[in-house]
Amino acid sequence: MAAKLVADCIFCRIIKGEIPSVKLLETATVFAFLDIGPLSEGHALVIPKYHAEKLHQVPDEFLTETMPVAKKIAAALGVDNYNILQNNGKLAHQEVPHVHFHIIPKPNEQEGLTIGWPTKQADPAKLRELASKLKL
């Protein structure tokens, strides 16, 4: 399976070796490296070797190794607390328009990812209605 990369994407250029990176692991479908703007020590990125902005646009065969690679990185970091983060679109805080997964160690309250989670009370009937519309 051939990688699909584009010339003007920073992550595609990292995969091709045109931009230097501190590579952690590479397979036929995945490239993992340390983030140059880390939220904490060991902050890493796992990217599929298929250029797409959003997760639903990436063929499954380019995603099968992403979580196993993220798991390997998390285990190698040896931290008890960490986040796996993947954003889709500018409104969802995606900075680089190439699907990527962050592995972010959370060693203490000050370092790592900090987020708010503004939950709302869900209506059970509306949840059932939505589930039937999704038809998975």
pLDDT score recorded for residue 96: 97
Mean pLDDT, residues 25-33? 97
Residue indicated by tokens 């070796």: 17
Contact 58, 52 (CB under 8 A): yes
Q: Within the chain, where are the H helices?
A: 10-15, 66-77, 124-134
Integer CA distances (angstroms), 80 to 71, 105, 106, 113, in order = 13, 8, 8, 14
Mean pLDDT, residues 21-27? 98
Catalytic residue among 43, 51, 98, 100: 100
Q: What is the pLDDT of residues 97-131, one digit of tens each?
A: 999 999 999 999 999 998 888 889 999 999 999 99
- Residue 1 pLDDT more than 80? no
Contact 85, 101 (CB under 8 A): yes
Is 100 marked active-site?
A: yes
Residue 60: its H or E element: none
pLDDT score recorded for residue 2: 79
CA distance 99 to 57: 9
Contacts of 79 (CB under 8 A, 6+ apart): 42, 105, 106, 107
CA distance 32 to 35: 9
Q: What is the pLDDT of residues 42-86, one digit of tens each?
A: 999 999 999 999 999 999 999 999 999 999 999 999 999 999 999
pLDDT score recorded for residue 102: 98
Tokens representing 133 are 């519309």
